[in-house]
Amino acid sequence: MPAAQRLAGDTEEAVFFIQKMDCPTEEKLIRERLGQMNGVGALEFNLIQRELTVQHQLPSIAPIVDTLKALDMLPAVKSDSLDASAQADAIDQAAAYRIPARRWILLGLAGLAALGSEIVAWTSGDERSLPVIALALLGIALGGLGTLKKGWIALRNFSLNMNFLMSLAVIGAAVIGQWPEAAVVIVLFTLAEMIEALSLDRARNAIAGLMAMAPDLATVRGADGSWTSTPAREVAVDAIVRVAPGERVPLDGVITEGATSINQAPITGESIPVAKQPGDAVFAGTINEHGSFVLRVTAAQGDSTLSRIVKSVQQAQGQRAPTQRFVDRFAQVYIPAVVAMAVLVAVLPPLLMGADFHPWLYKALVLLVIACPCALVISTPVTIVSGLAAAARHGILIKGGVYLEQGRKLRALALDKTGTITFGKPVVTDVLSLAPSANQEVLLQLAISLATRSDHPVSRAIAAQEGAAALEVSDFEALAGRGVRGRIGGELYHLGNHRLVHELGMCSPELEARLQAFEKQGKTTTLLCRGAQPELLVAVADTVRPTSREAVAELRQLGVHVVMLTGDNAHTAQAIAAQTGIDDARGDQLPDDKLKAVEALGTQYGEVGMVGDGINDAPALARAQIGFAMGAAGTDTALETADVALMDDDLRKIPDFIRLSSKAHRVLVQNITIALGIKAVFLALALAGMSSLWMAVFADMGASLIVVFNGLRLVRGVPSRVG
Ligand SMILES: Nc1ncnc2c1ncn2[C@@H]1O[C@H](COP(=O)(O)OP(=O)(O)OP(=O)(O)O)[C@@H](O)[C@H]1O
Ligand SMILES: [Cu+]
């Protein structure tokens, strides 16, 4: 197979919708032809969406279209970076594609003709009488011309594919006088292809079904204040939309009036209603339970969180998972090997042993049918897509089949504390003046003035304190992992943690003892230092999420070592870890320490996952085999950068993800075993002369159906938490 050329410099991209591309054999054919064209680079196939993405450097896409047409692929242009106006050509064909009734009727008639031919041959005892041949030809003409045509194209392009093998088998059967059998085989094969196309549609619908959750219409306020029903896709950002009780939210937005509770299951997978009030974000597709409310639209329909989830799942399934790559490589060797074997079977026994020519030729034809790896090749993508779709429904967005396959191998998981194990919304619990003479009010005002300038959760907690108005701060600077500093009224102040105080050389045994008392209660301590003197101590406490403890226990059951990595001090880390059931907690971690910790976990345990907010742990997240982000429904970056994004803040979704990964793995192994097992059985039967052609086709069809339905089983859901 020609490798895709590496194109240097800028490339253009065109996306085609190819209705006829529903079997991996078509992919192979296209890959072989387009791969040889000058100026064509990477090709990306998405069989389930029937999409082909071509990177190229051609002045126009016409030659690509011509090549595809010559292969009888009937491409429709979905997008073309050279010609933006081409876009409308085929946007929703994938969704609208159905097998036309005409084809089913033709196939039914073909089946009757084939059956008739079989019956006449059987009752008359003559397989080569005129009526038998006429009926068989009728069956082939009605049901098999498509296959024969594709077979001919494959032959012209020297591509050994399923259609070619089938055509050869049918022609071979006719040549040796097995007319009824030739007709039955081709009808069965066509039927199998149609059923396979249908089942792929089901896999695709698993994804499209996600999108269908957002309503098409929105009630929008016009300039005159009246409400009109408008198609959601036409509603612009900042429009004002009303949502009635029981309705689904049509677009992403922020509530401006009214309060309600919303079932966010379509986004987060969690059906417990969430209370919403003005200022809260709501998502397209979620269900408004009680109140009626008004929202200001924050994203057009195509950019809504739900759309982005769907796009992300579609992209994810376009990338090949490791098993799929293996299966594809295997198929490349398998087909030629079986074909070579068929040739030997047809030629050797008659030549060497003077055996009868006919029975061996027949066996060879059966082998050709068995050579079709369709079931094998289709089994993996169907399983992966089903798994990705099931996860998305459960509020877990997996960015590629790779991660779905890898999840079950996780042996260690590093968690960040603030916002991951805890809510990340600390509140001030204690304020303590360290200099007895000083005025605490004034010190607190200074602390608030500095804290107001920072977005760090600890600073935000302090800034939220009641106090006199914030003072002017100059030379403000944030000190990562430590705190902040700035000048107020000409004097330099530091506001930061224990580490900062040490680095400034301001700690004392007395202060140490005071700090420890708070830290051991799981509180985070912050000190305000004037010049060279710590003067005010502020302790803040964060609440552990109730789901964290359960998640940690489940992870441990799954054999995953859980580690807490936090920038907070070691005592606080220990205290919070104890509340959560984590026995390995590491505090005082700067971003670089977190990275090193993840690396060390990798060598000690194997595959490592990391959950973080991506601010102070971006390097560690990138280094982990799987980087998780939480609460992705609200933040764009988390949705985009994580390998696996949890749409809400429930850590229990990680054990769910691992279980889904194990289940997907089991289904993959089953599918490969079934596909290869059936082939092996029929290989033996064929050589023993005990399999007929139609049995081989039937077995092939059966195997395809079994693996597809087995794969689709995954859509039904994420394995439950109990047990
Ligand atoms: N802007 C700031 N204002 C106040 N304190 C800060 C600030 N930045 C850092 N700190 C102090 O430094 C510590 C470490 O901060 P860092 O941002 O590295 O981790 P974190 O967000 O607290 O915890 P985690 O690593 O679990 O997310 C904080 O616990 C806090 O005490
Ligand atoms: Cu100290």
The answer to whether the CB of 526 is under 6 A from ligand 1 is yes
Alpha helix (H) residue ranges in 288-398: 305-318, 322-353, 357-370, 374-393
pLDDT (mean) for 391-414: 91
Closest C-alpha residue for ligand 1 atom 11: 482
| CA distances for 446 relative to 92, 489, 620, angstroms | 60, 10, 35
The answer to whether the CB of 568 is under 6 A from ligand 1 is yes
The answer to whether the CB of 484 is under 6 A from ligand 1 is yes
Q: State yes or no: pLDDT of 1 exceeds 50.
A: no
Window from 64-78, 224-238, 574-588, 615-629 with minimum mean pLDDT: 64-78
Q: Pocket of ligand 1, candidates 476, 482, 499, 628: which has the most ligand atoms within 8 Å of its Cβ, to mutate?
A: 482
How far does residue 476's CA lie from ligand 2's centre (Å)?
A: 24
pLDDT tens digits along 260-318: 999 888 888 777 888 998 998 899 988 898 888 999 999 888 888 888 888 888 777 77
Q: Pocket of ligand 1, candidates 497, 540, 574, 595: which has the most ligand atoms within 8 Å of its Cβ, to mutate?
A: 497
**Residue 700 known to be catalytic:** no
Contacts of 505 by beta carbon, 8 Å cutoff, 6+ apart: 532
- Give me the pLDDT at residue 50, please: 77
The answer to whether the CB of 422 is under 6 A from ligand 1 is no
DSSP 56-110: E--S-SHHHHHHHHHTT--EEEEEETT-GGGGGGGTTHHHH----HHHHHHHHHH
**In the beta sheet, which residues pair with residue 2?**
none
pLDDT tens digits along 482-509: 999 999 988 899 999 998 998 888 888 8
Q: State yes or no: pLDDT of 430 exceeds 80.
A: yes
Task: Give the closest ligand to the alpha carbon of residue 420.
Answer: 1
How sure is the predictor about 634, in pLDDT bands with cuts at 50, 70 and 90?
Answer: low
Class of 12-96 in CATH: alpha beta
527 vs 714, more confident? 527
Relative to the CA of 569, which ligand 1 atom is closest? Answer: 29
How sure is the predictor about 723, in pLDDT bands with cuts at 50, 70 and 90?
Answer: very low
How far does residue 594's CA lie from ligand 1's centre (Å)?
A: 14
How far does residue 572's CA lie from ligand 2's centre (Å)?
A: 14
* Cα 197 from Cα 164, distance rounded (Å): 19
- Give me the pLDDT at residue 578, please: 93
* Cα 351 from Cα 288, distance rounded (Å): 77
pLDDT (mean) for 347-355: 85
pLDDT tens digits along 646-702: 988 899 999 999 999 999 999 999 999 998 898 889 888 888 888 888 888 888 888
pLDDT (mean) for 163-178: 85
CATH architecture for residues 427-541: 3-Layer(aba) Sandwich (3.40)
How far does residue 505's CA lie from ligand 2's centre (Å)?
A: 9
Window from 91-95, 214-218, 463-467, 608-612 with minimum mean pLDDT: 91-95
Q: State yes or no: pLDDT of 105 exceeds 70.
A: yes
Average pLDDT, the chain: 85
How far does residue 457's CA lie from ligand 1's centre (Å)?
A: 8
* Cα 114 from Cα 135, distance rounded (Å): 6
- % pLDDT > 90, the chain: 27
- Give me the pLDDT at residue 561, please: 95
Phi, psi of 79 (to 5 degrees): -160, 150
How sure is the predictor about 411, in pLDDT bands with cuts at 50, 70 and 90?
Answer: very high
- Give me the pLDDT at residue 659, please: 94
| CA distances for 280 relative to 252, 255, 295, 302, angstroms | 11, 6, 9, 21
- Give me the pLDDT at residue 722, please: 46
- Give me the pLDDT at residue 90, please: 43
Where along the chain do its domains lie?
Answer: 12-96, 101-207+314-385+666-716, 217-303, 427-541
- Give me the pLDDT at residue 721, please: 59
Count Cβ neighbours within 10 Å for each residue of 63-83 and write b for 16 or more, e otherwise. bbbebbeebebebbbbbbeee
**In the beta sheet, which residues pair with residue 628?**
611, 644
pLDDT (mean) for 107-127: 88
- % pLDDT > 70, the chain: 93
Q: State yes or no: pLDDT of 555 exceeds 90.
A: yes
Q: State yes or no: pLDDT of 88 exceeds 50.
A: no
Give me the interface pTM, i.e. the ipTM: 0.96
How sure is the predictor about 4, in pLDDT bands with cuts at 50, 70 and 90?
Answer: very low
Q: Which of 252, 416, 568, 649 is catalytic?
A: 416
47 vs 435, more confident? 435
Q: Do 427-541 and 12-96 have the same topology in CATH?
A: no
- Assign a CATH topology to domain 217-303: 2.70.150
Q: State yes or no: pLDDT of 95 exceeds 70.
A: no
